[in-house]
Amino acid sequence: MNKVPFQRGPFFFLLALLTTLACNKYDEVQLADYRPEFAIPLLTSELSMEDAFSRFGDDNFITVDADGFMTMNYFGDVTARQSSEIFESIAQTEGTFPLFDTISALPFSTPNGFDLDYALINSGTMQILYAMSFSEPVTFKARFPNLITPNGEVYEYNYFHDDPNFPLFVHPQVDLTGYTLVPTRDSLFIEYHVLLESSGTRVRLDTIGLTLVDFTASYVEGYMGQEIYEIPRDTITIDFFENWTFGDVYFEDPQIKVSVINSFGFPVRSQASIMDVIKADGQVITLESPFIDSINIDYPRLDEVGGARTTEFVFDRSNSNIDEVLSGVPIALDYEMRALANPDRDTSIRGFMTDTSSFRVQVEVQLPLYGRTNGFVARDTIDVDFSDYEQVTSAEFKVITENDLPLELELQAYFLDSEDAIIDSLFSGPRPLIQAAEVNAEGIVPPSSSNEVTTFIEVDGQRFTNFQQANRVLVTLAFSSYNGGQTSVRIYNDQRVEVRMGMKLEVQQ
């Protein structure tokens, strides 16, 4: 299970902002004259969306189009079904098989409905054994009309016995590597006869058998039957929302993309036995679509042996209920796929597979940053230590923000003691820290359109003393898109936030 490594969900943006601020602050001010009140310019800094994602996430999971529009991408594991499992059933054609007549058919093991035209043998040995008791020399002849040698000839075996009195005669093993099997009605036929040297008369053996050992094929061709191949179940975690408390997010154009790389040379239809989205509140919603069980997968043809074809299918608003499924706060996609071979049972389609053929599936959740949110609240705790600030009697912080993003942010911070009890808060109530920039009818912030907000934070001596007693701070962030979350907006990589901060301190004489 692969997870996009954003750190702390929505807090990645705030943490990226704070990290950038910390890297751009002025050198520490040294006070030549000790005065009861002084002002300190702390920082001027700027952060773009591209900077934010690159600092606190693997930007390989963020795609940016030619216009700078951003999309979050969450990938599942690459799950696969290998041909080795199917070849194992063919390899069950091994052991010692008695021959009850001079012309015998050895059943060739194949999966149900499998109609084999021919197979290239990759390994295995064959051996003839029989018992006989004759009073004169004989010639033993065997012919395998379905077994073609590497030279393109039907395999035949001749052996002259000048002393044909054997309780059991075992012929040398024949290495079948490189041979071609062309079965008749899914059978390997064997013809044999024994000729008396004196008269040429044919005689039968009372006991004769054929042994096949370690039989494998590297290539088979024919009608592969209709089989269901299960693909391992997987879960994609959407951890951007891991710190969610309440509030909703609506994506205008979410997508679930199914990508299949198929090197089996026959028709396959992909079916989703499970395709559920799990919400942060525990609700489970099933993806519904007329295509959920009918994605036709492309396949290489007979002149493309060794190659593969790729099929990509996208569930979107036009063919599914995905806007319902991925609205709110989705935290995971639980899915299980399966592949149906030859779904139409068309026996005229002669396909193939090799010993390296596979059916590989990857599912991806795509969340283009185009949508709206109203009161999306997330929270987290941060360890703090204010014990070094012993002489401060009051402080005033001035924060000026200039914002190109169509998102507004309210902040509240609660200072906690060692028992996680609230000692004090930064504000009497949530305060707007960043005001959303205006957007046009397409949800785009026009050029040179930004919002500036000035915030004063006053802390008296008693409250600062409270802060000094805190071990941790519980930070609560409330995000809303432009127009109170009623308007869908687009996020671009060059949209930025600029922050300027100063501090005025009063210290004890």
pLDDT tens digits for range 413-440: 888 988 889 998 888 877 777 888 899 9
The average pLDDT across 348-359 equals 92
* Number of neighbours of residue 362 by Cβ within 10 angstroms: 18
CATH code: domain 88-223 is 2.60.40
> What is the percentage of the chain residues whose pLDDT exceeds 70?
84
| Per-residue model confidence as pLDDT tens digits over 52-69 | 666 544 444 788 899 999
Confidence of residue 82 (pLDDT cuts 50, 70, 90): confident
Contact (Cβ atoms closer than 8 angstroms) between residue 262 and residue 341: no
Per-residue model confidence as pLDDT tens digits over 246-283: 677 889 999 999 999 999 999 999 989 899 999 888 89
More confident residue, 447 or 154: 154
User: Residue 90 — very low, low, confident or very high, per pLDDT cuts 50/70/90?
Assistant: low
- And the tokens for 307? 């190659």
Mean pLDDT of the region 124-133: 90
Structure tokens at 468: 């000094």
Q: What phi and psi, each to the nearest 5 degrees, are found at residue 329?
A: -130, 85
Residue 322's pLDDT is 95
Task: Specify whether the CB–CB gap between 127 and 172 falls below 8 A.
Answer: yes
As a whole number, the mean pLDDT across the chain is 82
pLDDT level of residue 327 (50, 70, 90 thresholds)? confident
CA 493, chain centre distance (Å): 25
Taking residue 290's Cβ as centre, other Cβ atoms within 10 Å add up to: 8
**Banded pLDDT at 29 (limits 50, 70, 90):** very low
Long-range contacts of 465-468 (CB under 8 A, 24+ apart): 466/415, 466/423, 466/424, 467/386, 467/415, 467/423, 467/424, 468/386, 468/387, 468/389, 468/390
pLDDT band at 342 (very low <50, low <70, confident <90, very high): very high
Q: How confident is the model at residue 32 (pLDDT cuts 50, 70, 90)?
A: very low
Q: Pinpoint the residues of the chain covered by CATH 2.60.40.
A: 88-223
The rounded percent of the chain whose pLDDT value lies above 90 is 37
